[in-house]
Amino acid sequence: MIRIKICGVTTPEDARFAADAGADAVGLNFYPKSPRFVTPAQAVSLVRALPAFTAPVGVFVGMPLRQVCAVAFQLGLRGVQTYEERPPEEDTFPFAHVPAFRVKDATGLEYIRKFVEAATAENRRPAAVLIDSFVAGEMGGTGHVAPWELLRGFDPGVPLILAGGLTPENVAEAIAVVRPWGVDVASGVEFAPGKKDPGKVARFVKIARAAVSQPESR
């Protein structure tokens, strides 16, 4: 089974449609420099639009973890995705912590392994790790594809969520190569930044679900 997150949702209508299309999670971006940025106040209506079993996940960059958890508590988020340079010094429980990493080479994979090991040693094991493409100065949503071949067979020790340039056209191949636990898409299902295309969202979910039954790419 593949888990699917539609990230960078900015309207209640898009949040509800993503859920109705079969997404497991919807991402709310609290990074002010993102074209998909929403404030906590704006996010209230998005969370309210979600049905009971679709998880709202907050995306945070450069915000102290205590403040991240405060926002998560205020909105009733299920998980928090952060861009971390080191394992967290505080526990995010009851919010699932998904540290995100922008990877361009094997050094990045070794860094993720050490991050997970260090966090686990401190009893702060991540719920999963998200791997995105590396684009200088950008924190996700760039449309650039992550290094799939580099990730083939990579086991970080926790579930792996693949992001970076995924679209309805390439998600099946990405899943065949990487075999991730989950996939995360933002720009690949939009007609404009922060504006989801219902047709693309529905096709992405359908194709991703079907892809897990295909044989591994060689």
Chain segment 39-67, per-residue pLDDT in tens: 999 999 999 999 999 999 999 999 999 99
Active site residue 69: no
In the structure, what pLDDT confidence band is assigned to residue 136 with cuts at 50, 70 and 90?
Answer: low
Which residue in this structure is represented by tokens 């924190």? 139
Residue 105 is a catalytic residue: no
pLDDT score, position 172: 97
Lowest mean pLDDT among 26-35, 101-110, 136-145, 194-203: 136-145
3-class SS shares of the chain: helix, strand, coil, % to 5: 35, 20, 45
Q: In order of start, what are the domains of the chain with their CATH numbers?
A: 3-211 (3.20.20.70)
Predicted pLDDT of residue 96: 97
pTM of the full predicted structure?
0.93
Residue 210: count other Cβ atoms within 10 Å of its Cβ.
Answer: 13
Catalytic: which of 91, 132, 184, 197?
132
* Strand partners for 98: 81
Q: Which of 7, 24, 69, 184 is catalytic?
A: 7
> Could you report the per-residue pLDDT of 169-204, keeping only the tens digit for each?
999 999 999 999 999 999 999 999 999 999 999 999
**Residue 86: which pLDDT band, with cuts at 50, 70 and 90?**
confident
* 3-state SS class at 216: coil
Per residue, the 3-state secondary structure of 81-98, as one string, reads EEECCCCCCCCCCCCEEE
pLDDT of 141 above 50: no
